[in-house]
Amino acid sequence: MASLSVALNLSTPRPSLLHPPSPPSLKFSPVHNTSRRLALFQLGITLPQAQLFNAEASKLLATEGNTTKVATAGNSTRESTSFTEVDAMDWVKNDNRRILHFVYSVGDLDKTIKFYSECLGMKLLRKRDIPEDRYTNAFLGYGPEESNVTVELTYNYGVNKYDIGTGFGHFGVAVEDVAKTVDLVKAKGGKVTREPGPVTNGSTVIAMIEDPNGYNFELLERGPTPEPLCQVMLRVGDLDRSIKFYKKAFGMELLRKRDNPEYKYTNAIMGYGPEDKNAVLELTYNYGVTEYDKGNGYTQIALSTDNVYKSAEAIKLFGGKIIREPGPLPGINTKITACLDPDGWKLVFVDNIDFLRELE
């Protein structure tokens, strides 16, 4: 059976898809090419809906002004219902959401796993090789996936380097002793890009390191926490627009916002709970910069929801772009939807019950 890891790699370029053929020449078998189907969405290739979803389970969403009409696909006699902004805000507010995975590609999976395990104290939770699609996934974190955030690493056969771009900032890891962790990183041959010291205009001790693939990790000195994998930082072109979008479409709280005029940037911390106990999204606006190169390494954030259909409707109403209509995945029936935020960053919603079922 296919894995949910397939679903969460919507923007990972498989080697066989780096130069995809035109849609008419694409051929898929019923089950084994699920990952190819989903990879095509991020490559901009559209396939007929009947090829991708069960017709009875799929939904057709149509937006008119500030109201989204939801109707079942096919010759259904069920009446469509309207989903207004008020309905969407109420849904988002009461939905059960949390960050599940940070998803990105690496050039040397074994070396990356070793670095994260030995230097950052992560545990390898599961690993899956998909030889027919020429890639391998590994999930690492500080606790079970049922309750903790993980990094989802993808190694594409034969691809040993990725362009991280200028938009991705860093991942954050909370440690009890930053200096000790930095010494360990150095002892293991790792690269330290900022020595331990207080954060600018603050007292929190931080340091910056690079993993073997060039991804930046910020080490934050904190006491014991239930979620050491504590943040991802992304750069945006309009901070107020992004804050509004993540509040309305994703139900995140603005936990804090700080302007740093001397360094010409402003950042905002958003999430589903206190940042010392939950993973958060750090949005950074650099004065005068409205666009960034996203590269092809960092992929997306996966989040949970009780209903992918309603979550997709809310995203549409509040300014996001759906790139994968909500519905069950072929072969495993896990329901997901995928979208782009106003800056083009990818996010995936996964049905809560289906996600837990995948982990059984």
- Residue 313 annotated as part of some ligand binding site: no
Q: What angle do CA 135, 20, 22 make, to 5 degrees?
A: 145
- Residue 152 annotated as part of some ligand binding site: yes
- Residue 210 annotated as part of some ligand binding site: no
Determine which one of 145, 218, 221, 227 is catalytic.
218
To the query of whether residue 325 is one of the catalytic residues in this protein, the response is: no
Angle between helices 308-317 and 85-94 (to 10 degrees): 130
| Cα–Cα distance for residue pair 353/147, rounded to 1 Å | 13
Positions marked active-site: 218
Q: Cite the annotated binding site for Zn(2+) by residue number.
A: 152, 170, 218
